[in-house]
Chains A and B, each alone.
Chain A
């Protein structure tokens, strides 16, 4: 590190720049290669592109988790909930877009309402025919939930494992709620059979390409936003809270507000990720709320390396690629390899995959990189004075 008085790395430190360049290259290259005709050896199939689009959404989600867990020490086992809520907001918009092209040709009601003979559209479905409204909800609903939940939890100083478990309770409750058909979200089948978005056919390669690029951009922006936060003084306050919450209070920081702010930001990012995910996979249903999903995405982050942001991205992509590959290559026993992967990484790469790179490059100026050994995430009440 330099001895220059202002010795904090800026937003764009080496790793960030490295990451963004890779992202931009991928974001541009894939669509171009996809445009090539399929005979060309370099051709990237639409399948692969949609797949990567999906990974990018997961990556953004992972970044959101890393922000609260890596830097703030809040282990949220409920982030899938925010992801799914964003997804549902988008799904509802896409449902409304179908209009009278549903199998029953009902101009207003989505198919699942027609054959469960609902009479009129539930109030909470109003407005979703407008994209701007849907977009607003994508940000607002997860954000609002995170705000209310966080406001309750942080103000009453619920910390550590207790916080983790009630986040899990939150997503579990939502899971059960969305399974109920009375809720009007399509029950177990969820929302599916989407036709088009903003008037563009969802099945056309062009739209897919656009969505892919959009996901890449969202990831890039989300990443930069997180960097802005973690490199700001607020970011350092966050780390301070993670390591010694009480101490941070005694030097005059309103810990609960800091937590709330970052938690909400993270939730919004997750929501956006979900919203981009849905049109690319073509379905949103309650199983996205499943607590196991939330745990799994924590695993992505840990696998990539906590509190590095790019580690989260690497983890998300790695695990999901492994899944895609293994479920086809060794369908009967892929869980063995995945499970083994988790165990081995935790045992031998406590800093995640990125940990290796850091060891290789001591010059890496990412000052946040070294706070992984700190164990008291679960009892991050710091001072026992």
Chain B
């Protein structure tokens, strides 16, 4: 089928152009992510309003804010799920996120963990990780894909990291809530992205689980840049150095936890209540 081959072709080209962290990615200025004057409104309601956000490479940034502050929307914009009405979003100096589709952004090196844990419930833990694994993801490469031993090791390593070695052959659907959260983080690790967006990873977790998750995330920071959206203050304090407070779609305050907490605006709109 000529046509099929054509688009197979297009795929190959595309794979070659976009490995998991794009060569175009240039973090010369030390900034990994620029969001400038981003605004988006859903039928009238301004979810994001002139949002400016700069993330340094390797930092672990916590985003807090009351419900409806636009945290999740912001993530949607970064990952290409939502298109802003105005403003610009750059990944490094060269990659314009607003021109890319979700898969392209993912391939460029931005991974995302959802608020509600979403894993492929009908497939084994192992399969979940394998699917997430970094590397070319074109149709035909995927069709022909075989697991190399190094890749196997990588998967096993991650299984270890997220503590699901025993469950590797279980269907993901059978995992507990917490385990699913970890599995999803594990999938992020497999993707080995430059930037991780983590949305409320400890929601509904027991304390032990929380601690493990905390360790996981801190261990990630450094080689990966992490943006963490979280409600749980203690948890945030336990790991973050830099905190950004969102309110009504724009940045209300930025700084360390203590600075933020002492900021009366913040106290007023958020911690106060």
Q: Report if A and B associate in a common complex.
A: yes
Q: List 15 A-B contacts (CB under 8 A).
A: A3-B169, A147-B4, A234-B143, A242-B122, A243-B121, A243-B122, A244-B118, A251-B131, A253-B131, A254-B137, A261-B4, A261-B143, A367-B123, A383-B114, A385-B118
- Interface: B217 (CB within 8 A): no
Decide: B120 and A243 in contact? CB cutoff 8 A.
yes
A6-B147, A232-B142 as given contacts; A251 in contact with B187, CB under 8 Å: yes
Decide: B116 and A251 in contact? CB cutoff 8 A.
no
Cα distance, A252 to B136, chains bound together (Å):
9
Chain A 254-297 per-residue mask, 1 if CB under 8 angstroms from chain B, else 0: 11011011001000100000000000000000000000000000
Cα distance, A253 to B81, chains bound together (Å):
14
**B99-107, B207-215, B250-258: which lies at the A interface?**
B99-107
Can you list the 3 inter-chain pairs with the closest CB atoms, starting with the nearest?
Answer: A252-B106, A249-B102, A371-B122
Task: Enumerate chain A residues within 8 angstroms of B116, measured Cβ to Cβ.
Answer: 383-385
Question: By CB atoms of chain B within 10 A, which of A5, A251, A371, A384 has the most?
Answer: A251
Task: Enumerate chain A residues within 8 angstroms of B143, measured Cβ to Cβ.
Answer: 229, 232-234, 261
**A19-27, A102-110, A136-144: which lies at the B interface?**
A136-144
Residues of A within 8 A of B (CB): 1, 3, 5-8, 139-140, 143-144, 147, 229, 232-234, 236-237, 239-240, 242-244, 246-255, 257-258, 260-261, 264, 268, 367, 370-371, 374, 382-385
Decide: B138 and A257 in contact? CB cutoff 8 A.
yes
Decide: A383 and B118 in contact? CB cutoff 8 A.
yes
Cα distance, A169 to B214, chains bound together (Å):
52
Cα distance, A233 to B120, chains bound together (Å):
14
Min distance, Cβ B16 to any Cβ of chain A, angstroms = 14
Cα distance, A189 to B20, chains bound together (Å):
57
- Interface: B132 (CB within 8 A): yes
Cα distance, A158 to B144, chains bound together (Å):
28
Task: Enumerate chain B residues within 8 angstroms of A233, measured Cβ to Cβ.
Answer: 130-131, 142-143, 145
Which residue in A140, A144, A240, A367 is a CB contact (below 8 Å) of B131?
A240
Chain B 176-200 per-residue mask, 1 if CB under 8 angstroms from chain A, else 0: 0000000000010001000000010
B89-113 with Cβ < 8 A to chain A = 101-103, 106-107, 111-112
Task: Enumerate chain A residues within 8 angstroms of B191, measured Cβ to Cβ.
Answer: 251-252
Decide: B122 and A239 in contact? CB cutoff 8 A.
yes
Task: Enumerate chain A residues within 8 angstroms of B4, measured Cβ to Cβ.
Answer: 143, 147, 261, 264
Min distance, Cβ A126 to any Cβ of chain B, angstroms = 20
Which residue in B72, B79, B120 is a CB contact (below 8 Å) of A250?
B79
Interface of A is mostly: helix
Decide: A370 and B115 in contact? CB cutoff 8 A.
no
Decide: B103 and A252 in contact? CB cutoff 8 A.
yes
Decide: A139 and B114 in contact? CB cutoff 8 A.
no
Task: Enumerate chain A residues within 8 angstroms of B107, measured Cβ to Cβ.
Answer: 252
Task: Enumerate chain B residues within 8 angstroms of A5, measured Cβ to Cβ.
Answer: 147, 152, 156
Residues of B within 8 A of A (CB): 1, 3-4, 7, 11, 14, 20, 72, 76, 79, 81, 101-103, 106-107, 111-112, 114-116, 118-124, 126-127, 130-132, 137-139, 142-145, 147, 152, 156, 168-169, 171, 187, 191, 199
Which residue in A234, A240, A257 is a CB contact (below 8 Å) of B120?
A240
Cα distance, A139 to B120, chains bound together (Å):
34
A232-B145, A382-B118, A385-B115 as given contacts; A7 in contact with B169, CB under 8 Å: yes
Task: Enumerate chain B residues within 8 angstroms of A371, measured Cβ to Cβ.
Answer: 122
A144-B3, A374-B122, A383-B114 as given contacts; A249 in contact with B106, CB under 8 Å: yes
Min distance, Cβ A104 to any Cβ of chain B, angstroms = 38
Task: Enumerate chain A residues within 8 angstroms of B139, measured Cβ to Cβ.
Answer: 234, 254, 257-258, 261
Cα distance, A147 to B191, chains bound together (Å):
30
Closest chain B residue to A260, Cβ basis:
B7
Task: Enumerate chain B residues within 8 angstroms of A244, measured Cβ to Cβ.
Answer: 118-120
Closest chain A residue to B188, Cβ basis:
A251
Decide: B81 and A246 in contact? CB cutoff 8 A.
yes
Closest chain A residue to B72, Cβ basis:
A385
Decide: A237 and B103 in contact? CB cutoff 8 A.
no
Task: Enumerate chain A residues within 8 angstroms of B103, measured Cβ to Cβ.
Answer: 249-250, 252-255
Cα distance, A237 to B152, chains bound together (Å):
18
Task: Enumerate chain A residues within 8 angstroms of B168, measured Cβ to Cβ.
Answer: 3
Task: Enumerate chain B residues within 8 angstroms of A236, measured Cβ to Cβ.
Answer: 123, 127, 130-131
Cα distance, A144 to B4, chains bound together (Å):
9
A233-B145, A371-B122 as given contacts; A139 in contact with B7, CB under 8 Å: no
Question: By CB atoms of chain A within 10 A, which of B20, B121, B127, B142 has the most?
Answer: B142
Decide: B114 and A385 in contact? CB cutoff 8 A.
yes
Min distance, Cβ A117 to any Cβ of chain B, angstroms = 38
Question: By CB atoms of chain A within 10 A, which of B101, B137, B168, B171 has the most?
Answer: B137
Task: Enumerate chain A residues within 8 angstroms of B145, measured Cβ to Cβ.
Answer: 232-234
Which residue in B1, B111, B115 is a CB contact (below 8 Å) of A140?
B1
Min distance, Cβ B198 to any Cβ of chain A, angstroms = 13
